[in-house]
Amino acid sequence: MNYSLLEDLIDVLKQYEAENGKATLSDFSAWLYEQQHHEATDSEANGSPRIHQELNESIMQQLVDLYQHARHYIKTALKTSPLKGIFDFTFLSTLDEMGDLRKSDLIHYNTVEFSPGMEVIRRLIRNGLIEDYDDPDDGRSKKVRLTPNGLTMLNEVRPAMELVQQILAGNLSLREKRHTLSGLRKLTHFHGPIWEQQHGEELDKIATFGVRAQSVEQPS
């Protein structure tokens, strides 16, 4: 049996995981289709800074617009609850999914700056939706856990948040959803190390770090 195709597939899978992290077979299939479908177009555009700049500008504008739409839908979904924003919801969801966490780990997992993250935690504690206690493994830290009231609240707002997700996905077909998710995961994978290592730095330093990290991930 000739294993050359399998070897090629493994190399491509390594490239995918370097760019996107681990995901499902359907995510990988959608990404591979996009790679093959747009290869010729991308090769023509790689040498044009103007095209890159125009696309960069459009991507930023679209992301900002979508963020504003998402904020409006989420505010509407939570208006009759004590939850004040998306992070109130995601903090509860994270604790429900992952169990008790240190405060710092809960904040870090949700990609929130420390001070705003602590304010979310304090608000959830005041409302009786989570509670904190001393970490038995580290006397300097506290853990938080979901209370019965917090679980009840989470289950009450979930249907509205699922409707928000449906509205945000809009009129995308199933294939378009997979392709969009693939691109967004690639961006999240790219920005993750910047958040971890360069948060708060000047933009020129962040840009240099991003270019360097991207070059390291390129397949040999």
For the stretch 144-175, pLDDT in tens is 999 999 999 999 999 999 999 999 999 999 98
Higher confidence at residue 36 or residue 122? 122
CATH fold of 51-182 reads Arc Repressor Mutant, subunit A (1.10.10)
- The residue among 150, 34, 48, 159 whose CA lies nearest residue 91 is 150
What average pLDDT does this structure show over 105-128? 96
Contacts of residue 53, defined as CB under 8 A and 6 or more positions apart, other chains included, come to none
Q: Can you list the positions of beta strands (E) in 94-149?
A: 101-102, 130-135, 138-146
Specify which residues 145 forms β-bridges with. Answer: 131
Looking at the chain, the whole-number percentage of residues with pLDDT higher than 70 is 83
Query: Dihedral sign, CA of 21, 26, 32, 37?
Result: negative
**How many helices (DSSP H) and strands (DSSP E) are in the chain?**
10, 3
Alpha-carbon span 209 to 203, nearest angstrom: 10
pTM of the model: 0.74
The residues facing 146 across adjacent strands are: 130
| pLDDT value of position 220 | 43
Tokens 């190390």 sit on residue: 193
Q: Quick one: pLDDT band at residue 43, thresholds 50, 70, 90?
A: low
187, two tokens: 């961006």
> What are the sequence ranges of the domains in the chain?
51-182
